[in-house]
Structure 1
Amino acid sequence: MRVLRGSLIASVALLPGQVMAQGAGGGQAVTLEEISVVSNTPVAASRRVVATPTASGLRETVVLDGIDRNKLPQNTSVLTANDVSRVGFPSTVRALDERIGSISINNAQGNPFQPTITYRGFEASPLGGSPQGVAVYLNGARFNTSFGDTVQWDLIPDIAVDRIELEGSNPAFGLNALGGALAVSLKNGFTYQGTEINALGGSFGRGAIAFQHGQRIDNIGLYVAGTKLGEEGWRRHSPSRLNQIYADLGVQGEKGEFHFNVIGASNSLTGNGTAPVELLKVDRSDVFTYPDQTKNDFLRFQLSGTYDVTPTISVQGNAYYGLFRQRTANGDAADVENCEADDDFVCSEGADDNQFFLRDRTGNPVRADRLRTFNFGAVNPVFADRFDEGGPYAFLNQTRTDTDNFGATVQTVIREPLFGLPNRFVLGGSYDGGRTRFGADNSIGGLTLDRGFSPPGIVVSSDDGIITPVSVRTSNDYGGIYFTNNTDLTERLTLTLQGRFNMAKIVLRDQIGTALNGDHYYERFNPGIGATYKIIPDYLVAYGGYTEANRAPTPAELSCADPLAPCSLTNFFVGDPPLKQVVARTVEAGVRGRIPQPDDIFGGILSWKAGFFSTRNDDDILFVPAPDTIGRAYFRNVGSTKRQGVEASLFYNTPRWNAFIDYAFVDATFESPVELAAPGNPFNSEGGDEGGVVLVRPGNRLPGVAPHQLKVGVQYQVTPEWRIGALARFATGKFLVGDPTNQNKTTGDYAVFGFNTSYRIAPNIELYGFVENAFNARYATFGTFSPVDEVPIVRVPNATSNRSLAPGAPVAAFGGLRILFEPPPPAPIVEPLPLVRKG
């Protein structure tokens, strides 16, 4: 595909030095000046291709309105559309996992489209029980959901991703930016022109097709993209379906640019989580209990724009309104049995072995003969002895979340001298609101021979109130006023001052009773200060800084904070004690630079960086198991935690090949002594029973965080038509969730390799293929404990180990076809294309 020269610069502006332009003319090298500009604030940095008539024809200027990365006192990483589509078919999650050393994947759900991404030990997860420590923005608008601050990665249209900016803690990004902020910018008709159709097929029954089209007509830009994907999954009972659409309409004027875009998705995802290690030894594709299905429907409209009031003052902003609908169904074994007082009925068991009747919606006790149970004793007599008190039974936990999101951000950028010194000052304000209707219930049925849920599915409550339907309405209003100021004290030294005042109001109204009612208010000012120094201008820069950030407890957390009334792992809410907000204090420092190589060596550019970070969280909030229960937990403040480490990377880019290596060490520890329930942990005070506790001491590592990670990749242009590449990830094991005292085995170290290739069989047709986990490594990215003594496993009747892991996918091969159609030729350009960088 031939791409407009302005679009080419836009697509590679954040890559150093030389890049391979895969146009109709073959793999020719295009050498460009390095433009390393990022937004550094919630509103995405605009990148405008401005056309201006001149006497000699049409002159196009790429205007980049952001700040030079070398002036920022935080570590930053930038990925482009090329990184997202590195192996042929686009994936944002894969690009983050493969390219950034301090990012790891906890695939607790066991679904490739529902990962928990961990950055520096902080999570950005679709799971409501995860402490969300990364602020995520899409096209400059907050993407963390209102109800639980979760991040639904499956809603991002991967083929439309233009660039991804990731940086350390920055108070300007508001709530959740404890560990850092991730900003995703999507394409538009000015930065991408042409048409692409991308079809994929391969292992696990996966088939997908994605398309994108960008067009510019005078000062109008149009872009539309979409993806449809389906797969059966490599594990049993694990199909997934993705349907995504994105469209953007842009208008350019002499002084500004404005956009209206819409994002939509309707996805059905199945991830059946962890499985006991003894079951995995028999069959890694098997699941422990099922179903575990999530259905996400999403629609968001957004207006955004930037306007140059004067040559040195611009106003930028956006406003959005969105709808998010989520339905979950999670099948689990039920810790219930026939009542001792009358075995015709079913009871739950509470503390001290007390039993409580289960009742249906009419208030009548649930009769055992209404439930279809299976005779496990006929399979193996061990099961008959184990379940001689009735059952086994199963719960189907169902939730319904309906959220309306809306908000706006406006900021002013002033680039005028301060006391005669070059200066960039940004002042902005934001508001994000959400109105949520949440409902949940437990339906009881039988447990099938392969540990699935069997109807009829009677919605139940227990006499002790632990098991009960939930209906609650919540509203959250988040406001913030922020500033950032960058002053060049000398030609080499830049001072950065940052700050943001955050306000949060959260209201809960119980729709059944009054137990969940509550009004909560949080506010805090977070400062930041840092500096950069150009030791060798353009080649070696040192940076360092201190920042503070906070996050308010979410409606989900506030509604599940009572240890005497815990909620299930699918976010049932049954109590409302107050929680303190989390405050993070971060110190980081490092160096970065670039070294051009002479043409007689490789003729490329070596970019590198290395840094140290340390973040201490006070009043950290974790989702911890409740005492005397199985499968239920609650949110609580656990004192202080710390995440510190080092990051280092090298990237080498030449006209014909490029390579990178990224390393990260993350030491995530508890800093306060705390007593936590540890059901299933064999080292708890009750020897692994559900009622046991453990005493966590300062220095114990946080579960779910890999201390060491190394990522390596290379691409080589064998001929103008043929490209090959390889990727490798190495990681050390993580302690299991539920083992905060670190006495059990970790998930284990692993190394995973992948290979990719592409061949252009015609100027506009490319074939590609890639292999993941090429050497079929048996590894796990997440672990916890499962109640094997409560759930019969036919294939392992004498299972005793309750260690449970989320297995990584086996070797898989995929292939695809890309068809590229060039856009209409632009008006003649006879002058060189200049680059204008603001800030």
Structure 2
Amino acid sequence: MLNKKIKSVLLLGVYSCFSIAADTNDAVVSSKEVKAIESTKGIELDEVEVKAKRRTVITPLPGLVIDREQMTTNVQSISGKEIADSKSVNITDLMNSTMQSVTINDYTGNPFQQDLNFRGFTASPQIGTPQGISVYLDGVRVNEAFGEVVNWDFIPMNAIASLDLIPGSNPLFGLNTLGGALAITTKNGFTHNQLHAEIMGGSWGREQAQFSNGFNNGKLGLFVAYNHFKEDGWRDNSPSNVRQLFTSANLRSDYGEVSLTALNVDTALTGNGVVPYEMYEQDRRAVFTSPDQNKNGLEHYNLTGRFDLNDNLTLSGLTYRRSVKQGAIGSDFYDGFPAMSNRIGISTPLCADGSYPDGGTNSDSPGSGCAGLLPNGVLSNSNLDQGSKGLAFQLNHVTDKNQFTAGVTYDTNDINFKQSEMFADIGPDRRLIENSSYYTDYGLIAAEFPIVRNRLTGSSTTKSIFLSDTWSPVETVHFTLGARFNHTRVKNYLESERGKALYQFDNPTSYFDSDNDRCAENDSDSEARFICTKGNYLYRSFNPSAGFAWEVKPNLVAYGNVSRGARTPSVIELGCAIDRTQIVNDVNFQFGCAIPTSLTADPYLKQVRSTSYEAGTRGVLQSFLGNQPLNWNLSLFRTELSNDILFVPLGRKNRGVFDNFGATLRQGVEASFSSTWNAHRFSFNYTWMKATFESPSSIINPNNSSNVVVDSQNYVYVKPGDELPGMPNHIIQASWNYTPTKKFDMTLNMVLHSSSYVRGNENNEHQPRAATNTVVSGTNRDPYDYIGKGTIPGYAVFNIRANYKFDNGFSAFARLDNLFDREYATAGNLGRTPFTPASGGAATDSAGFNYNSDQWKNTTFIGPGAPRAIWFGLSYDLDWKSRKTKLD
């Protein structure tokens, strides 16, 4: 609170402080306002009382900011300065350590490919993960149309001015806003009029170089940011390389502003995925198989404008074009090895003891098995070419009692996807190696030529109308009403290979006959290689929202909100939707999808609908420690989903289909407080959350020990109340910052997550070594099978960072992660491994592959957390405005 006489010559500074989002510290004052202020020089004004309000941009387009006292949900924000101080290399790492109700799952083992979870909803770069958070970059929705995924490697940290996490289904944001929206605003030459350069290096061969520079002449502002990151990775064969370039040009006048931004990204990310936990206990650096690599390219261009029609009315607009090219290669063991060993129609290669290469009982001639006669690995290749473009317009009308926003958006996407598979050998280091001799010796075409599994082209077009109004009938009471109408059309054209096993491609005459490389004309056309289908789906949704905020007294606000949201099925979900026409007598004969490397016919899926509720209080407790204020909040949240879309396994490794599961629920309580005391600053976040299935269902999964065999299928029964995988019940983030001098500060941070279930344990009933020597539907189960508990244990990780500022603009910093070298995991799934100890004379090779499939084990795979690591860096900052002032 300020209460003193001021002269008009100071009015510009006061106005600048409180006319902007406090998270960015960026003054936004028009030339008209400057001239009006200058014309009052020499006039002494009456006493003015100014109330400082923290403001946050909550609309995708510029032109409207909302006081935090008026917000009807628990909006969280991070400023550009906080981002820079954190020394985080990506958004997921930053949010995991600072934001309430946020956790991460690392299924890939790469820092740029982690799942971000917020209140039980996910934004992930992984196809097959249910997505529930929309992400906006300067007003452009960057959830990719192919699978609603978010590529975190496409967002440069040193170009971010602020980010805001808005819970619930705010109608100002578009599709996929089920659990919340993440709105990211970039820097420009007016908001960041300074030069910054930084280098960092240390553990795992990590090297990072960053550079940014922004300046303006009062009307034209220019900004550029470049980031180059590379490392060898802490696990075997896991290098990454990221190059990001962001540029912007801003033109300001008395009537508004026009901005043009460009983002160009080139990355090569290796994430060798989850590993059996018993393998991890022997060697923390171990990988299951490799390589698993994504090469991504992005070209993103965005033109935005804000025009001040009068003192109360603003018109904003944008148009954008976005091009994404991705190439991926994935490696795995070939789970069809037993059937291939016992194949029909190919010459019969026998081991020295007369058995087949697989010595399991599924073979016609069981025995020890032998290596080197047939391939035991499979390489999956995929290529995605995606183009997006769109435009949006937004009208803002602000008066003393109303803040009204209305707008329209149009977004369209075109997708071209292709995937193929090849045989390979698993080498001594678990790296897959192509071997064309299997084609020469046995006619296995997939050993020499990639087998095209699918070609998919598709498009989606969404048209939306939205509006929102915050009405303040009195100064302390604020009502917000809003709604959004979406109209989405999704089209598919799919050429899907019939589903033959890879080893069944053994007839070169038929395979290379161009007459057979076509779509089947009917069911009896057995010569055609592809089944081709078209899909054309229309989705509509109306999503209203209502909320209130009541300033009960100074520094105490009560609020509540209810909202509806929607997510339409993505192109790949419709391309890999369950085909119930192929389910006969409870036996599912569908081939399924090896996400993202195989698709099936594309039947209809319903859109997901959400209803979100939130209520809470927030405030400031004055004179807490040494007369310092204590900021706090307490929120209760609940989101109900219907027709939730999940990736459902079909019993073959990594294969399944997308299906409307039914109802799911996320609910919980989140609380936080922060304060300072002398040279100390501390904060504490706590969340209790429960994410559950609310509809009964059956899932085919032989890797879950509680499965029940019915008609040769291994069913797992999910019932209401079972918890969703990967979602811990308890989340804590705590931070303590110590600043003894203006030059030096250090921060100790703790992240704590309680235990969670792994994927595949959706019924929460998997038990380690649960089966005994009892016969279940004719199957004699190994008493030492089903390794692991099917859960991820809880953990707490401590991190430290320190910074020292020199007098000449240079700073030295250090970051130490996992201070106590805690062994932990953030993700996992139930699976099967062939890398098991051999017994009874079973053959193995240098990679540890067991050639008796009866000795393969069901186990718990985990995504291990990184060990202790330290990095050092040097940065340089130069404020052009301060330098000019000194020179003047």
TM-score range, shorter chain: 0.7 to 0.9
Q: Deviations over 1:550-605 (max 9, x none)?
A: 0000001000013613110324212211100000001110001123438xx53533
CA distance in 1, matches of 2:617, 2:59: 22
Matched, 1:447 2:411: no
Matched, 1:615 2:639: yes
- 8 A contact 2:127–2:596 mirrored in 1: yes
**Per the alignment, do residues 544 and 303 of structure 1 end up closer, same or farther by CA in structure 2, a change over 3 Å counting?**
same
Q: Which residue of 1 aligns with 2:397?
A: 414
CA distance in 1, matches of 2:293, 2:15: 40
- 8 A contact 1:38–1:66 mirrored in 2: yes
**Per the alignment, do residues 5 and 575 of structure 1 end up closer, same or farther by CA in structure 2, a change over 3 Å counting?**
farther
Tell me which amino acid in the other structure corresponds to 1:638: F
Q: Which residue of 2 aligns with 1:556?
A: 572
CA distance in 2, matches of 1:218, 1:533: 40
Higher relative contact order (CA 8 A, sep 6+): 1
Q: Which residue of 1 aligns with 2:55?
A: 37
Within a 5 Å distance, the mapping from 1:753-768 to structure 2 comes to: 753-768=798-813
Matched, 1:676 2:693: no
Question: Would you say how many aligned residue pairs link Structure 1 and Structure 2?
Answer: 752
Q: Which residue of 2 aligns with 1:240?
A: 240
CA distance in 1, matches of 2:669, 2:835: 43
CA distance in 1, matches of 2:820, 2:424: 42
Within a 5 Å distance, the mapping from 1:435-474 to structure 2 comes to: 435-456=414-435, 469-474=453-458
CA distance in 1, matches of 2:14, 2:573: 47
Q: Which residue of 1 aligns with 2:383?
A: 400
Point out where structure 1 has 5 or more consecutive residues left out of the alignment.
Answer: 18-31, 47-64, 347-366, 378-382, 830-839
Within a 5 Å distance, the mapping from 1:256-335 to structure 2 comes to: 256-335=256-335
Of 815, 822, 832, which residue of structure 2 is paired with 1:787?
Answer: 832
3-state SS of 2:674 partner: strand
Q: Which residue of 1 aligns with 2:671?
A: 648
**Per the alignment, do residues 388 and 199 of structure 1 end up closer, same or farther by CA in structure 2, a change over 3 Å counting?**
closer
The worse-fitting range, judged by mean Cα deviation, of 264-273 and 67-76 is 67-76
CA distance in 2, matches of 1:809, 1:94: 12
Q: Deviations over 1:606-640 (max 9, x none)?
A: 2111100110100000011113x222111001110
Q: Deviations over 1:27-67 (max 9, x none)?
A: xxxxx974422232222x45xxxxxxxxxxxxxxxxxx411
- 8 A contact 1:477–1:505 mirrored in 2: yes
Matched, 1:809 2:866: yes
Of 484, 488, 491, which residue of structure 2 is paired with 1:500?
Answer: 484
- 8 A contact 2:248–2:259 mirrored in 1: yes
- 8 A contact 1:641–1:670 mirrored in 2: yes
Tell me which amino acid in the other structure corresponds to 2:416: R
Of 644, 656, 659, which residue of structure 2 is paired with 1:633?
Answer: 656
Within a 5 Å distance, the mapping from 1:353-364 to structure 2 comes to: none
Q: Which residue of 1 aligns with 2:33?
A: none
Q: Deviations over 1:222-275 (max 9, x none)?
A: 100010111000000100000000000001111211100100100000001110
- 8 A contact 1:345–1:368 mirrored in 2: no
Tell me which amino acid in the other structure corresponds to 1:579: L
% of aligned pairs identical? 30
CA distance in 1, matches of 2:835, 2:310: 70
Q: Which residue of 1 aligns with 2:231?
A: 231
**Per the alignment, do residues 478 and 386 of structure 1 end up closer, same or farther by CA in structure 2, a change over 3 Å counting?**
farther
Within a 5 Å distance, the mapping from 1:381-780 to structure 2 comes to: 385=368, 391-416=374-399, 422-456=401-435, 469-510=453-494, 513=519, 515-537=532-554, 539-562=555-578, 564-597=590-623, 601-627=625-651, 629-653=652-676, 656-686=679-709, 691-744=713-766, 745=789, 746-780=791-825
**Per the alignment, do residues 433 and 767 of structure 1 end up closer, same or farther by CA in structure 2, a change over 3 Å counting?**
same
3-state SS of 1:594 partner: strand
3-state SS of 2:86 partner: coil
**Per the alignment, do residues 684 and 343 of structure 1 end up closer, same or farther by CA in structure 2, a change over 3 Å counting?**
same
Instruction: Give the C-alpha shift of residue 509 in structure 1.
Output: 1.7
Instruction: Give the C-alpha shift of residue 490 in structure 1.
Output: 2.0
CA distance in 2, matches of 1:12, 1:232: 42
CA distance in 1, matches of 2:52, 2:681: 16
**Per the alignment, do residues 501 and 520 of structure 1 end up closer, same or farther by CA in structure 2, a change over 3 Å counting?**
same
**Per the alignment, do residues 604 and 310 of structure 1 end up closer, same or farther by CA in structure 2, a change over 3 Å counting?**
same
Q: Deviations over 1:728-769 (max 9, x none)?
A: 011111101011111233100100001111112333110000
- 8 A contact 2:547–2:562 mirrored in 1: yes
Tell me which amino acid in the other structure corresponds to 1:435: D
The worse-fitting range, judged by mean Cα deviation, of 181-190 and 170-179 is 170-179
- 8 A contact 1:14–1:34 mirrored in 2: no
CA distance in 2, matches of 1:7, 1:434: 42
- 8 A contact 1:675–1:693 mirrored in 2: yes
**Per the alignment, do residues 42 and 186 of structure 1 end up closer, same or farther by CA in structure 2, a change over 3 Å counting?**
same
Query: RMSD across aligned C-alpha pairs, in angstroms?
Result: 3.0
CA distance in 2, matches of 1:701, 1:108: 19
Tell me which amino acid in the other structure corresponds to 1:172: L
**Given the two structures, how large is their TM-score scaled by the length of structure 2?**
0.80
Q: Which residue of 2 aligns with 1:173?
A: 173
Q: Which residue of 2 aligns with 1:14?
A: 22
Q: Which residue of 2 aligns with 1:112?
A: 111
Q: Deviations over 1:313-355 (max 9, x none)?
A: 1011211001100111000111233353547469xxxxxxxxx
Of 340, 343, 346, which residue of structure 1 is paired with 2:342?
Answer: 340
CA distance in 1, matches of 2:693, 2:88: 40
- 8 A contact 1:515–1:574 mirrored in 2: no
- 8 A contact 1:619–1:640 mirrored in 2: yes
Larger Rg: 2
- 8 A contact 1:607–1:651 mirrored in 2: yes
**Per the alignment, do residues 16 and 594 of structure 1 end up closer, same or farther by CA in structure 2, a change over 3 Å counting?**
farther
- 8 A contact 1:549–1:584 mirrored in 2: yes
